[in-house]
């Protein structure tokens, strides 16, 4: 299948948006975090940021939404930059096959989470970063502001507070991992950082831009040609994309790999970011979720994008 030209992308996005909107009502907005339950369900936005520097959007692509688990991608990258391969002593690289907030595997696997993108793994990553940064929330925002080239990015304190007040299961995981020696800081402090992290808000356009380095061998386009343009090495970028392909969509990762065949990270705020190596990144948002916690319209839109362009089968 011939890949689309840049001039064709706006038409493709409009077609996908029209088809996706026919699926409103097939999912439900996340309600286990009360602040997210108030989000208007019938919204859909999509953005494609290309390595040539162009960005194409449709629908509600400039409406901020709560990143939630998508931030696990960026904290994982920060930890990988800081720790290198030592990171893998504390977290695994395997798909979990269990719900993102499951505690069962921790007991059978001695407090070592399966991967960085389930909640237990993301808590270990946040614990690692809590040891490195006095104010982790600002360290993360600083990285995201650099990557998105937008100094106004922020996290929502109301969402963070709502999430923190309903974090009993995550707190149980933290204490369980601490009992196995795989948690070094006060769980309450780590949970504060974790909930602030998850409450980060971005638009589809900003998210696509911020994740561009994953499609560009680790290079940050906003610093192109400068000494520190590499946010990750090319080898690290390849490995991050491999983990996104196998572990990025909760316990639906296999289904996403089969249907979409792109590295992705999803979040219960309704967002999904996908990487098309050497082409660009795609961010899609629609808050209605399926039973696994993934955006119904977002998954549909990415699958249609791959079908219409052939990107997924030839670019990874």
- Tell me, yes or no, whether 152 lies in a domain: yes
- Tell me, yes or no, whether 204 lies in a domain: yes
Indicate the average pLDDT of the chain.
Answer: 93
Catalytic, out of 72, 96, 211, 295: 72
- Structural domain for 281, as ranges: 6-315
Convert the pLDDT of each residue in 21-77 to its tens digit. 999 999 999 988 898 999 999 999 999 999 999 999 999 999 999 999 999 999 999
Domain tally, the chain = 1
- 55 vs 32: CA distance, rounded Å: 34
- Tell me, yes or no, whether 68 lies in a domain: yes
193, HSE (Cβ side, Cα atoms, 13 Å) = 29
When pLDDT is cut at 50, 70 and 90, the band that residue 284 belongs to is very high
The secondary structure of 36-93 as a DSSP string is: HHTS-SS--EEEEEETTS-EEEEESTTS-EE-GGGHHHHHHHHHHHHHGGGGGGTS--
**Contact status, residue 96 vs residue 102, Cβ threshold 8 Å:** yes
Residue 154 predicted with pLDDT over 80: yes
DSSP category for residue 134: S
Residue 220 predicted with pLDDT over 50: yes
Catalytic, out of 268, 282, 284, 296: 268
Active site residue 69: yes
The CATH number of the domain holding residue 192 is: 3.40.710.10
Determine which helix (DSSP H) or strand (DSSP E) holds 285, and give its type and residue range: strand 280-285
- 106 vs 104: CA distance, rounded Å: 6
Starting at the earlier edge strand, list the strands of the sheet with 154-155: 65-66, 200-202, 154-155
- Tell me, yes or no, whether 39 lies in a domain: yes
Q: Is 268 annotated as a binding residue?
A: yes
- Tell me, yes or no, whether 266 lies in a domain: yes
- Tell me, yes or no, whether 1 lies in a domain: no
Active site residue 104: no
- Tell me, yes or no, whether 311 lies in a domain: yes
pTM attached to this predicted model: 0.95
* Secondary structure (3-state) at 28: strand
Active site residue 162: no
């Amino acid at each position: 299948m011939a890949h689309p030209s840049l001039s064709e992308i706006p038409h493709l996005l409009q077609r996908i948006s029209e088809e996706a909107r026919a699926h409103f009502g097939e999912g439900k907005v996340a309600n286990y975090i009360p602040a997210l339950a108030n989000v208007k369900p019938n919204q859909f936005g999509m953005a494609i940021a290309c390595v040539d520097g162009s960005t194409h959007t449709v629908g509600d692509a400039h409406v901020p939404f709560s990143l939630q688990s998508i931030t696990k991608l960026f904290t994982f990258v920060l930890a990988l930059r800081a720790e290198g391969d030592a990171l893998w002593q504390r977290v695994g690289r395997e798909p979990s096959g269990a719900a993102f907030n499951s505690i069962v595997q921790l007991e059978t696997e001695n407090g070592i989470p399966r991967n960085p993108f389930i909640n237990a793994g993301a808590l270990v990553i946040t614990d690692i970063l809590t040891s490195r940064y006095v104010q982790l929330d600002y360290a993360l925002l600083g990285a995201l502001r650099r990557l998105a080239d937008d100094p106004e990015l922020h996290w929502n304190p109301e969402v963070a507070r709502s999430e923190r007040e309903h974090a009993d299961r995550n707190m149980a995981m933290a204490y369980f991992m601490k009992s196995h020696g795989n948690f070094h800081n006060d769980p309450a402090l780590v949970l504060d950082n974790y909930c602030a992290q998850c409450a980060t808000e971005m638009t589809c356009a900003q998210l696509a831009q911020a994740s561009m380095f994953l499609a560009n061998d680790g290079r940050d386009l906003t610093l192109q040609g400068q000494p520190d343009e590499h946010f990750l090495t090319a080898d690290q970028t390849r490995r991050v994309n491999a983990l996104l392909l196998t572990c990025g969509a909760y316990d639906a990762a296999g289904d996403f790999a089969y249907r979409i065949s792109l590295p992705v990270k999803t979040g219960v705020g309704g967002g999904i970011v996908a990487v098309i190596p050497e082409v660009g990144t795609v961010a899609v948002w629609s808050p209605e979720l399926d039973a696994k916690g993934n955006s119904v319209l977002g998954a549909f839109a990415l699958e249609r994008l791959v079908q219409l362009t052939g990107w997924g089968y030839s670019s990874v």
